[in-house]
Amino acid sequence: MPSNPRFEAKSVTKTLLREARSGALGTLMAGTGDPYCSLVNVATAADGAPVILISQLALHTKNILADSRVSLMLDERKPGDPLEGTRVMLMGQAEPAPEEAVRQRYLARHPDAKGFVDFKDFGFYRINIHAAHLVAGFGRIVDLKPQDILTDLADAETLVAAEAGICEHMNADHADAVRLYATKLLGATDGDWRCVGCDPEGLELQRERLALRLPFPQPVRAPGVLRQTLKQMAQDARAMA
């Protein structure tokens, strides 16, 4: 997560939501209500809500089918003491997600899932967030509401629908710009950076399992405005080279 001298709880949480690729899922054991925790891979829906791909054979899925209440903890996964890093605890309900709305986004972030995504026992679930608890260091503990951390998609239908094509175009025709975004604007080490997501508030860049969030200077709700924004950001990045 890029450093920011001014702590903004909402933007920090939004970034963590978009950059996380795995998390600890808490469910309630069917029959007893005992807490149960498991490790799951995570992506996001267009608005930033977590999306998971899980098997009906898994215990956590059986728990969700009996009681949809869940918690999900996401953390920075940075070197050093994890207790000194930023993490967010999300509370909500896990509900089956329409595959057409999340499949492309999930597979872009977890390409290895292509090997089992079509198995009959697997399905996508969206976690509808009710509340969030951010812990970002001493004196930086904040409770947040869903509207604080989810992205408003109003009037952005065209952009959302064009996401797959936008990512494909950026990776095929503007790979140099994607690389500059990561290395110059976000301070990442050089490598095979790819664009794996686009929403009104920013891009998601990924190299293997490392993901970075590139926020836009202001919300973008149409492909035409996006082109101008990305062009300007590429110019800014080249000026730093």
Structure tokens at 111: 């390409």
**pLDDT for 5:** 57
Cβ contacts of residue 157 below 8 Å, gap of 6+? Answer: none
Q: Dump pLDDT digits (tens) for 104-143.
A: 999 999 999 999 999 999 999 999 999 999 999 878 999 9
Residue with tokens 């993490």: 87
Structure tokens at 181: 């975004």
Assigned CATH topology for domain 157-239: Split barrel-like (3.20.180)
Please list the alpha-helical segments (H only) found in the chain. 9-19, 59-66, 99-109, 146-149, 157-161, 163-173, 175-180, 223-239
**pLDDT for 226:** 97
pTM value is: 0.93
Assigned CATH topology for domain 9-149: Pnp Oxidase; Chain A (2.30.110)
Q: Dump pLDDT digits (tens) for 201-216.
A: 999 999 999 999 999 9
Half-sphere exposure in the Cβ direction for 30 (13 Å, CA): 11
Of residues 204, 140, 212, the one with CA closest to residue 167: 204
Q: Which residues of the chain, if any, have pLDDT below 50?
A: 1-4
Domain boundaries, the chain: 9-149, 157-239
**pLDDT for 85:** 87
**pLDDT for 84:** 82
Q: How far apart are CA 207 and CA 194, in angstroms?
A: 6
